[in-house]
Amino acid sequence: MKLTDYLKPEYISIGLKANSKEDLLDGMFELAAKNPHVLDAKKLRASVLEREKIMSTGVGKSLAIPHGKTDAVDDIILAFAVTEEPVDYSSMDNEPVRLVLLLVSKESLVGQRLKLLSRASKVMNSDTARAALINAKSADEVLAIFQTEEDRIGE
């Protein structure tokens, strides 16, 4: 199971404009809503925001991985964005965010969701990959970077 199995060009935004964490999350929810596996966009939003209340998903190194589990989707959905400018996200390292990977799964797919979260962390742990993603010019380029990193880390 790979991130690139779920991440498609139509769910990727380059140069997403956001002035705040709320703006940024709203932009991510708009991207996610394009996915036909989203059954209820409002419930999806609520599940992610509920998780965000527990602890910021700004994991550091310019990255946030907002996530949730809900019956508002019937599979796993991913959306990815590179922000136009750094956004204050209350991250663990107190640094702003430029890269955001939204991951939401159906309640019953907890194991798969956790595997993909772990995989995302491994991919994003690469300084080279993060720099390449921040400088990516297209959704296809983003997918190629993810593919390269996923091949590098293996199963």
101-118 pLDDT tens trace: 999 999 888 788 888 888
Over residues 26-75, the pLDDT tens digits come to 999 999 999 999 999 999 999 999 989 998 889 889 999 999 999 999 99
CA distances from 129 to 18, 95, 132, 134, 146 (A): 22, 18, 5, 9, 8
Partnered with residue 16 across adjacent β-strands are 83
Q: State how far the Cα of 94 lies from the Cα of 34, in Å rounded to an integer.
A: 31
**Residue the block writes with tokens 């939204």:** 102
CATH fold of 3-153 reads Mannitol-specific EII; Chain A (3.40.930)
Instruction: Provide the whole-model pTM.
Output: 0.93
